[in-house]
Amino acid sequence: MTDSVPAAPGPRPANRRLTAIVWTLLVLGLFGVMLGGMREMWLASERHDFRELPVLGQLTDFQMTERDGKARSLADLKGEIWFAGFFFTDCSGPCPALISQMVELSRAVARTKGQVRVVGISVDPRTDTPERLRGYASRMGVGENFWLLTGPLPEVFRIAREGFKLPVEENPPASVPQSGKMLHSTKVALVDGKGRIRGYYDGTGGDLVARALPDLGAVMQEAGEGKRR
């Protein structure tokens, strides 16, 4: 008689404990990065030792639509400091990592109580309708202080290339299955309340929050001094 095949053993308790420990350490590490960046920003504020950031470009007005269906323009961001990046919802490459980092950034800047916003601009407006962006926002944990904008492709190209000085283009049809429909930068830009670009950061490197918050503090201090003059 052939012996019956034993059932496949389940995961050992030790392995489950190890997995839980690893995930806990990863979460604590990400939280530590956020706290470290915020701590640097607020300590620098107390010391008044922010560095002066260069002006890297000037945005001109644009007309886009947010996921709530309402029109948005540069005028709606006047006086606000904001971070901007480009993405598209069908992207299976760097976009999920980019948006995840921007979500963490939006949560970190929530402490500013509405002074700072995060903005994602879709480079695939044919697919990324406001309705689709709402579903994407729900899946990715995008909050209220994180706008997802869509609009005509020529306008998106103009904003990216002429405004932010970042590359974006449609991939050739033969490259779409492997590389996706669109090729775009994964840089995140810091924009001041006058629509001026003050910094660029790697949006997929895992340290966006820690690198961006000190510069945000510098722009916030600059804006505060401008109001006092």
Provide the CATH number for the domain around residue 143.
3.40.30.10
Q: Is the pLDDT of residue 6 over 50?
A: no
Q: Evaluate whether residue 203 is within a structural domain.
A: yes
Q: Evaluate whether residue 180 is within a structural domain.
A: yes
Q: How confident is the model at residue 227 (pLDDT cuts 50, 70, 90)?
A: low
What average pLDDT score do residues 126-151 get? 97
Model pLDDT, residue 39: 54
Q: How many structural domains are present in the chain?
A: 1
> How far is Cα 99 from Cα 96, in angstroms, rounded to an integer?
5
Q: How confident is the model at residue 66 (pLDDT cuts 50, 70, 90)?
A: very high
> How far is Cα 136 from Cα 133, in angstroms, rounded to an integer?
5
Q: Evaluate whether residue 150 is within a structural domain.
A: yes
Q: Evaluate whether residue 156 is within a structural domain.
A: yes
Model pLDDT, residue 229: 52
Taking the whole predicted model, whether its pTM rises above 0.85 is answered as no
Q: Evaluate whether residue 13 is within a structural domain.
A: no
What confidence tens digit (pLDDT) does each residue in 203-218 have? 999 999 999 999 999 9
Q: Evaluate whether residue 146 is within a structural domain.
A: yes
Model pLDDT, residue 171: 86
What is the domain range of residue 90?
42-228
Q: Is the pLDDT of residue 144 over 80?
A: yes
CB 226 within 8 A of CB 118: no
Q: Where are the alpha helices (DSSP H) in 48-198?
A: 95-108, 130-140, 153-158, 176-179
Q: Evaluate whether residue 16 is within a structural domain.
A: no
Residue 144's nearest CA partner among 172, 125, 112, 119 is 119
Q: Evaluate whether residue 14 is within a structural domain.
A: no
